Structure 1
Amino acid sequence: MLNRIDTALAELAPRGIMVGYHVRFSRPVRRVCTYPSSWITDYTRLNMIVADPSVIWCIQNEGFIRWTDLVTQIADPLHVMRQAADAGLNFGVSISCGLPQSRSLLGAARSDREFTDPEIARMQDLLQQGHTLLDRATAMRPILVEALEAIACGMTYEQACAHLGISRTALRYRLHAARAALGVEDNPEAIRRAIDLGLLSSNSYTGMVKGLPEAPSPT
């Protein structure tokens, strides 16, 4: 689901996007960036994020603003927007949603023209979808993540129950609750979704762990 959202956003912004979902304590739960590599390098090397007007606006506001309007509202001491234009990010929009303590931010750019109102509305909807999906998933209780991780590692039901110290019924309940929280129907899809959301390491999904034999995922 999140990959499809990322793809849809990128298709709307030919010159790239930067998404930070649920920014908490200055760090996002998930980050996606498709800006040109040369711009990312310069942006990172000069630490522009500390004074980027597009980021500052999103932290202070919820909604959207075109970059042509942004430059008249917020100071730009590091000339971030001018340098972005020099890198081909001539037109852009900043979008934000969510509570201040866990806000999701989106920057999207084009080189040829302003984004239309319908395009911005579509990006707002996509950002909100990702924000809601991650909010639900990251609220998963640790015991649900542990149960899903046991299956992702290739454990059978019996091995997972012994590892977690719970009954088979309790394991089934936890896996069911994990699937419900992630909005999927089966364990393999739940594992893929959890990896995509950063709840599980992609290295876990190998079918092998500590010498245990590969086993089909229980349903």
Structure 2
Amino acid sequence: MSSRAEINAVLARLRKVAPMGYYVALHIRYAAPIMQFQAYPVAWTERYAENGYALRDPTIAWGFSASGAIRWSALPIPDPFGIMKEAANHGLNYGVIVACGLLKSRTIAGCAHDTREFTNDEIEVISTMVRRLHDMTEPPESLTKAQQEALRCIAEGDRHAAAAAKLGITESAFKARLISARERLMAKTTAEALQRAKDYRLL
């Protein structure tokens, strides 16, 4: 099973445990996650984004200050903007936040329930899945020289045939290098692979 398929399989299991959805921000670096997935209600995510709640969200603040898991109801961090109350107004009445990884590459995930608190067993299952997602999406420390060269050609606007000629290889060999780079960076497209390579400081 490919990494992408594995990620989707874990997310599908996570969705079954969290009736009101989830948000997973993987490997937050330079203030932005390298991957993020969310299944909260659309009305809530739009409201959250419009008001820039991420900068004031007590669950996010906790995620950067502690590791492990905690129910939203037990958060020790103030919520002066009433974000948690507003979340409840959108059906996210109960929840849990999970944080893991080094501060320089932090993963923070939230799961929500509409009718009750998550049980200790459910929190353990959620925590295990989040840590699994974190480990599965660990960014590579480096790319091979061939992968870097291929991505640089694309970054410079070369078409496949021109890039292959520039590198002195066949077009099929060039395409194979791009496929290899996409797989290493867990990217669906070459454009996504190129952006990730830049984000990871690998180019």
Scaled by the length of structure 2, the TM-score of the pair is: 0.74
State the percentage of identical aligned residues.
34
Shift in alpha-carbon separation, 1:118–1:178, aligned structure 2, 3 A? farther
Segments of 5+ residues of structure 1 without an aligned counterpart are 183-192, 202-219
The equivalent residue for 1:199 is 193
Q: Give the aligned residue type for 1:103.
A: R
Contact 2:181 2:193 in 1 (8 A): no
Alignment RMSD: 3.5
Contact 1:93 1:108 in 2 (8 A): yes
Larger displacement relative to structure 2 (125-134 or 103-112): 125-134
Say yes or no: does 1:119 pair with 2:112: no
Contact 2:182 2:189 in 1 (8 A): no
* Cα distance per residue 1:107-132 (max 9 Å; x no partner): 10010111122222222222222212
Shift in alpha-carbon separation, 1:75–1:118, aligned structure 2, 3 A? same
Segments of 5+ residues of structure 2 without an aligned counterpart are 1-5, 154-158, 196-203
2:188 counterpart SS class:
helix
Say yes or no: does 1:26 pair with 2:28: no
Q: Provide the C-alpha distance between the structure 1 equivalents of 2:136 and 2:129, rounded to a whole number of angstroms.
A: 11
Contact 1:94 1:106 in 2 (8 A): yes
The equivalent residue for 1:9 is 14
Counterpart of 2:84 (choices 81, 84, 94) is 81
The equivalent residue for 1:56 is 61
CA shift, 1:143, in A, is 3.8
1:75 counterpart SS class:
coil
Scaled by the length of structure 1, the TM-score of the pair is: 0.69
Q: Provide the C-alpha distance between the structure 1 equivalents of 2:168 and 2:121, rounded to a whole number of angstroms.
A: 53
Number of residue equivalences: 185
The equivalent residue for 1:47 is 52
CA shift, 1:161, in A, is 5.1
> How do 1:105-184 and structure 2 match up within 5 A?
105-137=108-140, 139-141=142-144, 143-144=146-147, 147=150, 162-165=165-168, 181=184
Contact 2:25 2:108 in 1 (8 A): yes
Larger displacement relative to structure 2 (23-32 or 128-137): 128-137
The equivalent residue for 1:188 is none
Structure whose CA Rg is larger: 1
CA shift, 1:30, in A, is 0.7
Q: Provide the C-alpha distance between the structure 1 equivalents of 2:133 and 2:163, rounded to a whole number of angstroms.
A: 31
Shift in alpha-carbon separation, 1:138–1:77, aligned structure 2, 3 A? farther
Q: Give the aligned residue type for 1:25.
A: Y
CA shift, 1:76, in A, is 0.5
